[in-house]
Amino acid sequence: MSNPNKRKGTAWESAVRDYLNTAYGLVDGSGMLRDPFDPMNVRRAAQEGSRDVGDVHAVPFILECKDVRNPAVPTWLRQAETEARNAGFPYGVVVHKTRGLRVAAGRVHFSVRTWTRVRLALGRTTEEMRARGFTVTVRGLDSGRWYMTLPLDRFAVLLADLRWVVSCRAVR
């Protein structure tokens, strides 16, 4: 891989995947997946065809991973949501690398619509979601440019909670 930006992006995608798999105990001491066929494994997606399906799949999220200096979060969020639809996943979010900090400090950005859908799926109030560590960015009057942000380590907890809620509903 000769393109340094591609190499940097791939490294960030792999770091996010590895962090989440480790956080969920899906890997053994050597970093290998305990069960390669477990659908809950977090995976880097193989691109097939003309429709992009996101960088990392963490059921029920598509993670669009970005390792760039100058953020363009609203544009990235539209991309993530399109890729989630292409992949048949309900949620698309962006994971932006925080320079000079560990992977867990990466910033996970949600559009207002995705954040609201996740909040409702969890049965949480706005205040309960804010207490989880979300911050809000409001850019002008166009709510399409607003977004909610959470550190990756807190996103891992939110993802585990959402997976648990969904599995409980499936059992009923």
pLDDT in tens, 61-83: 999 999 999 999 999 999 999 99
Q: What is 42-109 written as a DSSP string? A: -EEPPP-SSS---SEEETTEEEEEE--SS--HHHHHHHHHHHHHHHT-SEEEEEE--TTS-GGGPEEE
pLDDT in tens, 117-139: 999 999 999 999 999 999 999 98
With a CB cutoff of 8 Å and minimum separation 6, the contacts of 6 are: none
Work out the average pLDDT over 146-154.
96
The residue ranges of every structural domain in the chain are: 53-171
The SS3 of residue 26 is: coil
Per-residue pLDDT at 1 = 55
Average pLDDT score, the chain: 92
Res. 171 pLDDT band, cuts 50 70 90? low
